[in-house]
Amino acid sequence: MRKRISLVLIDDNPPAPEGVASRIRAQPGFHVLAASAEIDEALRQVRGARPELVLLNLRKKGIASLALAAALHGAAPESRLILMGLEPRQEDVASYVRAGASAFIMADATFETVLITLYSVAEGNQILPPELAGCLFDQLTGHGPWSRPDRLAGLESKLAVGSRFEVAACPLPSD
């Protein structure tokens, strides 16, 4: 039997962390170690608890989300970081992966999608929603409007052979 998945939830909307945390706690296999709207407190929790997963839900503008992702990954490199609600600019997807992101959940995702992503990332998978897939492939192949070699340095090691990178579908960009 698999051990429970430890999780720290960070949500920039003060009433939301406990609401989301209670929904996750109600699911089998999860142990929510902390839920916080305060970034500094959340960093302390991640450093101290070293959870298996860190679910970062940022919706407010003005938060330096890329720097925060890197700080969270630096605080507990063994924790897998999942970005939720954040809609990175398409040309920044590779930067978030380099900063430590293991998965993205779009802002309009259902709770079922959130759970599937949590379970899948805990199993070692990396998740990229279809909405972001095209731009990452453009960045990796050097084709398309988001291909900039300077933004790809080091990305290949994040997508190492043997790790799975899942995409539900990959729509072709329209011209």
For 7-60, write each residue's pLDDT tens digit: 998 887 665 556 788 889 899 899 998 888 787 888 888 888 899 999 988 765
Where do the structural domains in the chain lie, given as residue ranges?
5-125
Q: Residue 63: which of 90, 80, 29, 87 has the closest Cα?
A: 87
Q: Mean pLDDT throughout 122-150?
A: 70
Residue with the larger pLDDT of the pair 5 and 152: 5
Are the beta carbons of 96 and 83 closer than 8 angstroms?
Answer: yes
CATH number of 5-125: 3.40.50.2300
Mean pLDDT over all residues of the chain? Answer: 75
